[in-house]
Structure 1
Amino acid sequence: MRPRSVRGIAGALLGVTVAASLFPRGAAQAAEPRSSRVCSSCHGEIKKQWEKSSMAGSWTNPVFQAFLADAKAELGEGAQAGCISCHAPLAAVTGDVKVTDPVNQEGITCNFCHSVSAVEVSPKPASYTWDAADPILMRGPFEDAESGTAHGSVQSNIMAQGEFCASCHWYAGDGEGLVFEGTHAQWKASKAAAAGKQCQDCHMPPAPGKASLIAKKTRDKIWAHTFAGAHTAGALDSVASVAAAVESGKLKLTVRNTRGGHSLPGGGASMRAITLEVVYQDGAGMELARVPVQTYDTEFADANGKSPVPKWLAKKVARSNEIPADEAKVEWSEIPPGAKKAEAVLTYHFLLPAYRAALVAKKVDLTGRDPVVMARARVAIP
């Protein structure tokens, strides 16, 4: 049986709040989350979308597990408590710090998100309040939700707002203000946010439909639970552009964040990078040179200045060169003698080279994490 506590051990460590709220059925029940498999009987299509998403893999993700093993090797078993509040949040709120319960191993689940009653919008880690009072009272965006026999329903004013995402996508984790995840703050400062566009509009694109198999009402918006992101096929095709032109005998390159509602490379920027390189050719199309021009990322350093290092060792920012939302970066490249053509190539890397090499050496499964070309630009050189 799962732990029946209203405040998990990891929650106490990290400030996660587990609240006992008002509920319609009488005596309060201690938290006993349900598997997302239970939801599939009525929400089959939504469950299928979720189970292929990064949310469902937040705990089992082999890259995360490899980094977690490193953190525990360096800091001790207690390091896990600092990760589960966002990677296995049901474990955090039920006190299953070792994440032994199969339900808690499901990652960021239906029962977790739909039982969050409040979010404190601040850089405090895991700043959500999870309702332990009634495990079958589900929150959603509709005021007139249709409740079935499986659970009661209540409207959440934050479920469809970008603020809902802030609890795990904006935090400073070292206690000294070093921001490890700044996606929410970046979005908040963007033109997209000013125009009323929410995180969910891009990462959970809505379409007309019904919320469940038993629903009578067709809604204007049913949000997809694909949680689309950089790992989604085709998602990187239009978020950035590169333009090339010859000016004053040099190659001018303009890299623009064209559609991102936050900085690029985006979530987990301290692990990811975007590179810009130029391939120069002679008049016959033979390659003369392949020139690295710029890397866009954030890298942390430890107390001794070594970089890059993972978040748990970070003491300062070694470099920060992301591409902010709605902005562009201009770079220059010297044109080698004999070059008549140039192609600028913008490539997305899911892992910094140092991390990728370490994971390859450990034979960690990196399926789906090969570099992806985001944009190209070709120009003739007079």
Structure 2
Amino acid sequence: MRSTCHLLTILALLILASQAFGAQAPTVFDFDREFYPYYPSLIKWNKSTAAFTPPETCRDCHPKQYKEWSGSVHNLAFHDPIYQGELNKAVKAVGHEISRQCEGCHSPAGMVTGEIKGPGISGLSPVASSGVSCDICHSISGVTHWQTPAHEPENGSMILTPGVDGKEGPTLIKRGPFKPADNCGGGFHDCAESTLHLRADLCASCHQVFHYDRHFPLEATYREWKSGAYAQNQILCQDCHMVDIQTFKKVADSFYKPLRSEYQHSFNGANYLLYYLAAAAANKAGNISEAAALKKKYEMAVERLKLAADLDIAPLYREGKLAEIKVTVKNLRAGHDLPTSLTNIRQMWLEISARDEKGNIVLQSGSIKADGALPENTRLFNSDGMGSNFHFAVDPWVVTSFSRHDTIPPKGSRIVYYGLPYNLATKNIALEVKLRYRQADQKVAESLLSAVPKDINLKEIYGLDTIPPLPVVDMVIKHATLPTEL
């Protein structure tokens, strides 16, 4: 009898313990919603009566920095028609709440103040419409990367503190990477030295974009950098994206640390399409000088892409006959993967053609079709997204994992083999191999640009009657003539 009671007692205790454990067990992506009041944006705002400062005000004392920032991807982040089309589609598909995640990085001040209430660019203050302006980066007082659902940087996990309230009213505080000089701020704002501005964590908040609910990393640029050789050699995002082309090349080739005088506020990267569209808008508006400046930024972005990678071509022979072409694609100078950001949207691919001595094609792959699509046999370096039903998906509010993820890590490479017909009736083949890049598939771009809000008239703003073919950048072109027999 005692043994039976003892056994029942143990069973009861085990059941109670399991129930208690089950009730207290945290979810995988556990976080405090009160801590993140703008969820799914993970921005925190130390709210005071200190207002955000329009970039035009900063220009008065910082004309050089303002000129560099003006027309940058940070400046254009909110007005980007591709972004606005995507945002409009997301709100219609999922609801208004999701827009805060996007707005938190494309216009942080506009989101936290509640000025931005959804897709569209009309009726907004200069602070809200200026995207990632001077005051955003220089008001960041901290980050909350560990407290996020994924316990790493995601979806704007930064703290904005543009100023504090005092007995005599608000005091603006602007933070930077160096010790402030005497009379810094000229009486308009106080200055504070910030070690955060000397770390890549500053950029990480917005350059890791996770699914708004499932917290899958749709964009993992910071993680790619942190896992690679650049982070190990103390080369930061700022060291490549806040310098000119020649300095960037030196940094990437030898892990050179730029001098303070070499940094700029241009924030140049691979998004040449945004510069391309903005230059078209400036031309349409008759602003020739602005269009010229944007064209230079466009050319700089294209040049970065051309410096980022390289190709090696090698023939493979079997029994003395040319059987395959081995192409090695190398990430030479990108401190993150190639491509990065929305890798299920970006397209980097190989186009190859081989001709016999009479000019006849014996091998072809990766040539863009008449409708702008790529053939099925194209060798792409990017990702394929899928939703929670494990079916192919493109839209970021649907994609919760990748079915294929084939990007090239920093200083890494990928090898592709192309088979050739047996017993080629030619002594040599002439080979052309291109590594090509565009921001998106043509149909995806058409879908997004067709979905822009009503206050973005593509014809009036950009002079677009129809969606043109997306510009393609040839990152590398190599030629070789190979004997078909040894």
TM-score between the two structures when normalised by the length of structure 1 = 0.85
Tell me the C-alpha RMSD between the 2 structures.
Answer: 2.7
Amino acid at match of 1:351: A
Write the distance in 2 (CA, Å) between the matches of 1:161 and 1:107. 22
Deviation string, structure 1 residues 255-302 (Cα, Å, up to 9, x no partner): 011111110112222321201121112214454542134101122112
Counterpart mapping for 1:65-214 below 5 A: 65-98=84-117, 101-102=124-125, 103-121=127-145, 122-134=152-164, 136-146=172-182, 147=184, 148-205=186-243
Q: Is the 8 A contact 1:141 1:160 kept in 2?
A: yes
Amino acid at match of 1:116: I
> In the alignment, which residue of structure 1 is the partner of 2:267?
227
Deviation string, structure 1 residues 328-351 (Cα, Å, up to 9, x no partner): 101100124456111111001111
**1:245 aligns to 2:314 (yes or no):** yes
Counterpart mapping for 1:1-382 below 5 A: 11=38, 13-19=40-46, 29-98=48-117, 101-102=124-125, 103-121=127-145, 122-134=152-164, 136-146=172-182, 147=184, 148-205=186-243, 220-221=260-261, 223-230=263-270, 231=272, 232-248=301-317, 249-285=323-359, 287-292=361-366, 293-336=378-421, 337=424, 338=426, 340-359=429-448, 370-382=471-483
* Secondary structure at the counterpart of residue 330 of structure 2: strand
Q: Is the 8 A contact 1:10 1:97 kept in 2?
A: no
Deviates more, 1:113-122 or 1:290-299: 290-299
Write the distance in 1 (CA, Å) between the matches of 2:139 and 2:468. 32
Amino acid at match of 1:77: H
* Secondary structure at the counterpart of residue 313 of structure 1: coil
Return closer, same or farther for 1:362/1:178 CA change in 2, 3 Å cut-off: closer
> In the alignment, which residue of structure 2 is the partner of 1:23?
none
Shift of residue 189, structure 1, vs aligned partner: 1.1
Q: Is the 8 A contact 2:328 2:414 kept in 1?
A: yes
Query: Which structure: larger Rg?
Result: 2
Deviation string, structure 1 residues 121-172 (Cα, Å, up to 9, x no partner): 3134211011143362111111133411332211111113211111011243
Return closer, same or farther for 1:41/1:123 CA change in 2, 3 Å cut-off: closer
Amino acid at match of 2:316: E
Q: Is the 8 A contact 2:86 2:451 kept in 1?
A: no
Write the distance in 1 (CA, Å) between the matches of 2:188 and 2:449. 45
Deviation string, structure 1 residues 46-87 (Cα, Å, up to 9, x no partner): 111111111011110010011111111212233322211111
Amino acid at match of 1:117: S
Write the distance in 2 (CA, Å) between the matches of 1:274 and 1:352. 10
Q: Is the 8 A contact 1:9 1:92 kept in 2?
A: no
Deviates more, 1:340-349 or 1:132-141: 132-141
Structure 1 unaligned residues grouped into runs of 5+: 1-6, 21-28, 209-218
Q: Percent identity?
A: 25
Write the distance in 1 (CA, Å) between the matches of 2:390 and 2:238. 38
Amino acid at match of 2:76: G
Shift of residue 97, structure 1, vs aligned partner: 3.8
Write the distance in 2 (CA, Å) between the matches of 1:92 and 1:343. 49
Shift of residue 369, structure 1, vs aligned partner: 5.1
Write the distance in 2 (CA, Å) between the matches of 1:8 and 1:225. 32
Structure 2 unaligned residues grouped into runs of 5+: 1-33, 146-151, 165-170, 248-258, 273-300, 318-322, 367-377, 453-457
Amino acid at match of 1:264: L
* Secondary structure at the counterpart of residue 82 of structure 1: helix
Shift of residue 13, structure 1, vs aligned partner: 5.0
Shift of residue 180, structure 1, vs aligned partner: 1.4
* Secondary structure at the counterpart of residue 347 of structure 1: strand
